[in-house]
Chains A and B, each alone.
Chain A
Amino acid sequence: MSLSDSWDVLVLGLVLGSLYAVIAIGYTLVYGVLQLLNFAHSEVFMAGGFGGVIALTIVEPAVDPSGMQSAVYVLLGICAGAILGGTIAFGLEKAAYRPLRRRNAPRLVFLITAIGASFFLYNLAGKLFGRYPIAMPTMYENKTVFTVFGTRVSITQLIIVGAALVMLAAVDVIVNRTKLGSGIRAVAQDPEVASLMGVDIDKVVSRTFVLGGLLGGVAGFLFGTNLQVEYTMGFLPGITAFAAAVLGGIGNVRGAVLGGLLLGVVEAFTVEIWSDAWRYVGAFAVLVLVLMFRPTGLLGERVGRAA
């Protein structure tokens, strides 16, 4: 593998990794406030992809769009993905997790509920929209924008990385600077004390889900523009992002970003060095190795302490 090849692979890995990072934040935020592995988050991601497809099918992009039109289409898709993702996450929390929280159910019960909800949602999507891959309507001509060390960077890749960066920065600001963020951190540290200090736990949890859902939805749309939208598209990226969240130290926002980028790069290099069939082996091998030496992930746990 020559040097220029490895640049190609690195760019691919970073693009993939920034998507994983955005999804992983959804896992990590929810884990921070609920200590719940939200298996159904991969379905939120899938819903985002369908949101983008639905919105773009309604507006029917022009055949040869101008630059301005293309930007509008992309923004529209992002918004639609975010809205559908956020709605699904909100509904999920209201319908499935809140009744469990009311009765202090043990965590395994939460996990099984999440698994059940995941099965329900992706099969429902398959039923409503058909069980076959759907291509995202063309929004722009996917040209090469510029080259880095001989590696061509396309518009899609640029959009994915750009949107991911904006979202990561926004989440960092929200968690660290806003009132909602201090609520999230307070609930993550100690829910009982937080509620004694006047934090409305229900509201914080609900909004955390919505925040994670917005991010997951946008990631779903971006993933769909890169590849295709399908009812089962959430499962594998969901599990990898979940692994990324654990790798970085679950509950830790910056850890999730680091873990996501790392797993994306590892995955790209695994595919390049071995073959596409071994895609997920490299990522999980790295995960197991890291956890053997750092059992709480790269950056340690908890939103409250380390974000």
Chain B
Amino acid sequence: MSLEVTAGKTPSAARLRKQSWYQRPRFKRLVAMVVTAVVMAQVTGVQGVRNDLFYALEENFTGTGIWIWLGIFLAIWAVREFFQDWARQALARVKAAAAPLPEDGTAKAAPGGLAGQVRRVADGGRRLSTLFRGHRAYQAGGLGALLLVLIMLPLMVSTFWQQVMVDQIGMFLLIAIGLNVVVGWAGMLDLGFIAFFAIGAYSAAFWTGGLPVEPPVELNNFLVVPIAVLTCLIAGVLLGAPTLRLRGDYLAIVTLGFHEIVYLTAKNWTEFTGGTRGANSDRFSLDLGFWSYEWGLDPAPYYWLQLAFIIGVLFLFLRLEHSRVGRAWTAIREDEVAAASTGVDTVRFKLLAFAIGASTSGIAGVIYASKLGFINSEMFLVLMSVLVLSYVVFGGMGSIPGVLLGTAILVWLPEYLRDTVDAQDRYMYLGGLLVVMMIYRPQGLWPSRRRQRELRMSQEGTGSADALGAQPGGAQG
């Protein structure tokens, strides 16, 4: 009899477990999609105007954009919730087509249609990669071809893009290579890296007689390069020596403070630096007696000069990566305590990382100041330090090709967006891209194998992927 009574009701434990309709994942995903659509409508909507706070909001909520975005995101939601099997099957078909054919001769001829296309492309890619991996001659040939393309590049693009390549991409590449040593290899968090770039640029202006103060001797720009590198090395050691005791986050804020102090000094010590009004700097010139050349306003010669510097730095740094020093940095990054206990002089190697990293910024600073012929304090904002760190992580820190690729793409993107979207919104898209990239591909565009393994281990809950200590929120299953 008692059974009959309870049969009609749900048992209490089950009732507790039961979710209301608004707690179901499906509904939560719907809400997420609607919110994303609304945000996207704001992102792609009109610009705000002066004296009417609600103009842009009103336009974006009543215009057609929001309906288009709602349509797109509701369609994604519907496919995901109700046609998941179908979508998964389609994906599996494409994957099967791209998989390598069995090698025992039973392979069927590639089917026609889309699947055949995918298979042919995938096979071609695989053949190409085995070809390159196997033979040194092909590797050298590939590198040579790449170099040739890089040398020819300024001849193929407009002056605007030549300027972008020299003033922005090339400059940030040099800086990013240096920052990669500090962040990617030694695993220290540096949020003030552009300070060294500023020091390099100001030493260029100082030694070529551009600053309000007179230098002891005026030097040729090429001679300034080693001096600037040396100055940055010293600055790196001066910053590093008192702060290297600090752990990741403390180091980050201290380096940020260092940058702010350098920036404010450049801005306010007008008797020395010229402040916001700026200072002039000489351009590069070469006089060998029998042949002389002066770099003028044309960006292309600067491009080749910069390329030469980048290749030189790359040559040195690639050798550094697997040297004794590079391995010591890896050890420090993966586990500082273990490294110290096996005899790695952690303080010395960390200082070395700081100094060597800073040196490339010195080169970049000299080239930048010489190219523009003018510098002022507003070229070295704190935001740039933050940006350049995100370039390095975006590309895949610790991996030189990744860092180069990531920096080139992220510097190129805002310039490219200049014509396609409202120029003021460029950095909004950049920020959005960073967030999406970090969620879906945290290892970066082209990670080094070693870092990828560290990341995988940290996902599984063993080891840490950087020298910053524990993971956020701890290891969660």
Contact = CB atoms under 8 A, between A and B. Distances in A.
Contacts of A105: 438, 442, 455, 458-459, 471-472
A295 to B, nearest CB: 5
Interface stretch (B129-137, B339-347, B426-434): B426-434
Contacts of B50: 130, 132
A35 B435 contact: no
A242 B253 contact: yes
Given A112-B393, A127-B424, A191 B431 contact: no
B409 interface: no
A130 B393 contact: no
A203 to B, nearest CB: 12
B58 to A, nearest CB: 11
Nearest to B436: A116
Contacts of B183: 108
Contact of A191 (B261, B435, B454, B474): B474
A158 interface: no
A291 B434 contact: no
Contact of B268 (A91, A130, A278, A284): A278
Interface in B461-477: 461, 464-466, 468-476
Contacts of A97: 472
B382 interface: yes
Given A54-B53, A288-B242, A106 B458 contact: yes
Interface residues of B, number: 77
Contact of B43 (A39, A110, A124): A124
B472 A34 contact: yes
A219 B210 CA distance: 44
B14 to A, nearest CB: 20
Contacts of A131: 48, 424
Q: Is chain A's binding surface mostly helix, strand, loop or mixed?
A: helix
A134 B53 contact: yes
Interface string A290-301: 011001110000
B476 A123 contact: no
A116 B53 contact: no
B257 A116 contact: no
Contacts of A113: 434-435, 438-439
Given A132-B50, A277-B268, 4 more contacts: A120-B431, A192-B476, A277-B264, A291-B254
Q: 5 closest Cβ contacts across the A-B interface?
A: A116-B434, A119-B431, A191-B474, A284-B257, A120-B431
19 contacts: A31-B249, A39-B386, A54-B54, A96-B435, A104-B460, A106-B454, A106-B471, A107-B469, A113-B434, A126-B48, A127-B48, A127-B56, A128-B56, A130-B49, A192-B475, A281-B261, A284-B257, A284-B258, A292-B242
Interface of B: 32, 35, 42-43, 45, 47-50, 53-54, 56-57, 60, 183, 189, 242-243, 245-250, 252-254, 256-258, 260-261, 264-265, 267-268, 382-383, 386, 389-390, 393-394, 397, 422, 424-425, 427-428, 430-435, 437-439, 442, 454-455, 458-461, 464-466, 468-476
